[in-house]
Structure 1
Amino acid sequence: MSDASTAREIDEAAADWAVRLDADPARYAAAVETWLAGDPRRAGALLRARAALSFIDAAADGGGVATPRRRGPSRRGLLAGGGLLAAGLAGLTVWRGMGDRYDTGLGEVRRVSLADGSTTTINTQSAVGVSLEPEVRRVRLARGEAWFRVAKDATRPFVVEAGNARVRAVGTAFSVRRRDDGVEVLVTEGVVEVWRAGAEVSRSRVAAGEKAYVYEEQPAQAVRAAPNEIEDALAWRQGQIVLTGTTLAEAASEFNRYNHRKLVIDEPDLAGETLVGRFRADEPDSFARAAASTLGAAVREDGGTIHLSRKRLY
């Protein structure tokens, strides 16, 4: 298969995804992320397709605001049949939030040097899109967690988008982690501004040694972290997990982020026991044995699963 043929197939698939996302973004969000991960060229193709779709709708409206109501094969056909090129020739400004995309697999921690001199360390099962534009450096954390050391450039702020959270820096170091109920920001150097999309007037300044959490409907609030809390939370950069009075259930969940062999706690009361220690993230079996010894528990392996349970007296 020729390179031209492959590129054409990517553009055609991108056109399909653009129409599907326009029709029902919630339904197709996870599937399109899987598709994007298969080839680095797909992100750019999808961005062009979605921008062209807006252009086509706006043109159909006589230059007005595009609406999502006109869906179907005709719009997809325009995309695949030349709509992308037409949009580009028309001078359409495309949001380039994923000019470069970096993905990590299970247990993988990756350090990336960016063209502006900044660096990012990306944690397990994460996806980061980077676009270094003339007036702003944009990063999109689609999933997972990343730590950024930002090169100083007063003319181009460094803005990270993660769900509805926004983090702005010029020259500093901080991490951003997407969780189920919001976004956590930890600052290791300098100062950043944190806010919720749509609530720009409620920005919070977060300094080194502080953290902030952005929930769906609440403004970000900076709080002072406990001594060593941020350093411990970022131990994953050295391939480690630090437990500081962490429950066994929370510890198991953290180890499961990095390993195919999963930890399972068999009893709820055992899951609530707390632990302190520093462990290698890629050694769940060593952790299980240490936890069992500390808590008087038993370890049982079942295929790819490591079970921790109360010892039985028979």
Structure 2
Amino acid sequence: MLDSPELETPGDDLIEDAARWLASLDAGSEDMRAFEAWRDADPRHAAAFAEVAGTWHALNDLKHFKAAPFAPAGPVTDAEVAEQDENPASSPTGSRRTLLRAGIGIGVLALAGGSFTYRAAARDMASTDIGQRRKIVSGTDMAVDLNTDSRIYWKDGAPLQLWLERGEIAIRLVAGNSLSLITQGGTFHLAAGFYNARLRDESCELTIIQGQGRLGDDPKILAAGETALATAGLATVRRDENEIDRVTSWRSGTLVLNGESLDYALAEMNRYLEHKIVIGDPGLSKLRIGGTFDTADPSEFLLALQTSFSIRTRRDGNGGVVLTRA
């Protein structure tokens, strides 16, 4: 009679690695694709992560970890081993391993689906393709609308946490809740209200439609009607309440232009199009455009260019549209 195979218990080195992955993923400082590649490379990785995630979920707090980017664990020195043997409770490594080992027995979940463990212990994700819009509701606390080509992660808690990885979103936060909005430009701390956030290069632009917030540790309050452009944790703030309708028009599938250049107008319209519109004559780029246009169908936008500026359109070999003078 053959013995039943047993799942190998993850070693301390894998537990350390898995814990660092989870801490970095929870802080939003690690790439989920890189994590999944590590997890799927070896069943022991998945088991170690499930063990760590189970303990994380049970304790709801791993204060021994700092939210730092992932780095493989280095070897433990003889001095560290001696110190742990003499006083295991006071050793950060020993204490951490004691906490993580409390989750033994959960490893089998990883074999049934590592992504389930990740989602339960860390973050949920939603995204849109080019031209799509989507609404996500997190219980009764928060609703998020995603614009074209966007991706978010979120996690319940107090405060709620929301990571904007790509694109643009509108956030409605119900009274009694607060939110940490984590972006490449910095982390916004928001009270209940209505907000629009859009990534721009290395920055994040946050428009406060209702409510208030602040950026990072800056005590300055951002108020309704203000737009903050956050870059590397610092913000420049402007106020233009007439801009609110333009900023939020995408939620109804429209693009509002108020005399912006054709260059700008095309950059905005092309966000929604698989087949882009490009300028074939550089002299057209500074033309000023105004109006409200359907982002799902560029035909009325192109017709307005033809009618107002005698611009000719033609299809290129890739299905895009080239603009030239008539």
Deviations 1:273-295 (A, max 9, x none): 11000000011232122113212
Return the alpha-carbon distance in structure 2 between the equivalents of residues 114 and 136 of structure 1: 13
**Gap regions ≥5 residues in structure 2:** 1-16, 38-45, 57-63, 75-96, 105-117
Q: CA deviation at 1:96?
A: 8.0
Distance 1:48 1:104, change over 3 A: farther
Instruction: Map residues 102-113 of structure 1 onto 2, 5 A cutoff.
Output: 102-113=126-137
Of 133, 152, 165, the match for 1:142: 165
Return the alpha-carbon distance in structure 2 between the equivalents of residues 204 and 97 of structure 1: 33
Q: Which residue number in structure 1 is paired with residue 208 of structure 2? A: 187
Q: CA deviation at 1:213?
A: 0.4
**Identical positions, percent:** 24
Q: CA deviation at 1:296?
A: 2.2
Q: Which residue number in structure 2 is paired with residue 125 of structure 1? A: 149
Of 243, 265, 270, the match for 1:251: 265
Distance 1:117 1:267, change over 3 A: same
Return the alpha-carbon distance in structure 2 between the equivalents of residues 30 and 48 of structure 1: 13
Q: Which residue number in structure 2 is paired with residue 210 of structure 1? A: 226
Instruction: Map residues 1-314 of structure 1 onto 2, 5 A cutoff.
Output: 29=31, 32=34, 48=49, 68=71, 89=103, 99-133=123-157, 135-153=158-176, 156-195=177-216, 200=217, 202-216=218-232, 219-227=234-242, 229-302=243-316, 303-311=318-326
Distance 1:281 1:271, change over 3 A: same
Deviations 1:32-73 (A, max 9, x none): 59x79xxxxxxxx7x948x78xx9xxxxxxx999983658xx
Q: What is the DSSP-based 3-state SS (H/G/I as helix, E as strand, rest coil) of the residue aligned with 1:106?
A: coil
Distance 1:30 1:291, change over 3 A: farther
Matched residue type, 2:170: W
Q: What is the DSSP-based 3-state SS (H/G/I as helix, E as strand, rest coil) of the residue aligned with 2:165?
A: strand
Return the alpha-carbon distance in structure 1 between the equivalents of residues 32 and 223 of structure 2: 34
- Do 1:204 and 1:222's aligned partners in 2 also have CA atoms closer than 8 Å? no
Matched residue type, 1:210: E
Q: CA deviation at 1:309?
A: 1.0
Matched residue type, 1:270: L
Q: CA deviation at 1:97?
A: 8.9
Distance 1:271 1:98, change over 3 A: farther
Matched residue type, 1:280: D
Distance 1:204 1:108, change over 3 A: farther
Q: What is the DSSP-based 3-state SS (H/G/I as helix, E as strand, rest coil) of the residue aligned with 1:233?
A: helix
Q: CA deviation at 1:181?
A: 3.3
Return the alpha-carbon distance in structure 2 between the equivalents of residues 32 and 107 of structure 1: 27
- Do 2:196 and 2:247's aligned partners in 1 also have CA atoms closer than 8 Å? no
Distance 1:89 1:220, change over 3 A: same
RMSD between aligned residues:
4.0
Q: Which TM-score applies when normalising by structure 2?
A: 0.65
Distance 1:222 1:205, change over 3 A: farther
Please tell me whether Structure 1 or Structure 2 has the larger radius of gyration of its CA atoms.
Answer: 2
Return the alpha-carbon distance in structure 2 between the equivalents of residues 208 and 113 of structure 1: 23
**Gap regions ≥5 residues in structure 1:** 1-13, 37-44, 56-62, 72-82
Q: What is the DSSP-based 3-state SS (H/G/I as helix, E as strand, rest coil) of the residue aligned with 2:136?
A: strand
- Do 2:279 and 2:323's aligned partners in 1 also have CA atoms closer than 8 Å? yes
Q: What is the DSSP-based 3-state SS (H/G/I as helix, E as strand, rest coil) of the residue aligned with 1:304?
A: coil
Q: What is the DSSP-based 3-state SS (H/G/I as helix, E as strand, rest coil) of the residue aligned with 1:230?
A: helix
Return the alpha-carbon distance in structure 2 between the equivalents of residues 245 and 205 of structure 1: 31
Distance 1:124 1:88, change over 3 A: farther
Q: What is the DSSP-based 3-state SS (H/G/I as helix, E as strand, rest coil) of the residue aligned with 1:204?
A: coil
Distance 1:32 1:271, change over 3 A: farther
Return the alpha-carbon distance in structure 2 between the equivalents of residues 69 and 99 of structure 1: 22
Q: Which residue number in structure 2 is paired with residue 58 of structure 1? A: none
- Do 1:98 and 1:140's aligned partners in 2 also have CA atoms closer than 8 Å? no
Q: CA deviation at 1:220?
A: 1.2
Q: CA deviation at 1:242?
A: 0.7
Q: CA deviation at 1:127?
A: 0.8
Distance 1:237 1:64, change over 3 A: closer
Return the alpha-carbon distance in structure 1 between the equivalents of residues 49 and 196 of structure 2: 30
Q: What is the DSSP-based 3-state SS (H/G/I as helix, E as strand, rest coil) of the residue aligned with 2:221?
A: strand
Q: What is the DSSP-based 3-state SS (H/G/I as helix, E as strand, rest coil) of the residue aligned with 1:212?
A: strand
